[in-house]
Amino acid sequence: MNSTLKSLAFWIVLVLVGILVWNISTRFQPSQKAEKFSEFMSKVDSGQISSVTIVGNEITYISKTGDSFRTYAPAQYEGLLTS
């Protein structure tokens, strides 16, 4: 084999391995649906939330149906932990 063909085969294998690693890594990440903060608050008020995790202004939560969501609290919103 000449060097050009070896180089081409190397890059093809490298790209395929990269695609495979990306595909596997995204498959094992929990799928969280993006949602508006107002929709999150409506679900809180109606008792549809099973658990909530708040880190900074990022809010991740699980509904009582088992679906996982992510939203962000507005920077000016106060009283998040007290409501």
| Digit-coded pLDDT (tens) for 29-70 | 666 788 899 899 899 899 999 999 888 888 899 889 888 899
The CATH number of the structural domain formed by 31-78 is: 3.30.720.210
CA gap 82, 16 in Å, rounded = 50
pTM (global) more than 0.85: no
* CA-based nearest residue to 40, from 53, 23, 21: 53
* CA-based nearest residue to 60, from 24, 25, 31: 31
CA gap 31, 69 in Å, rounded = 8
Q: Residue 10: which pLDDT band, with cuts at 50, 70 and 90?
A: very high
Residue-range domain boundaries for the chain: 1-30, 31-78
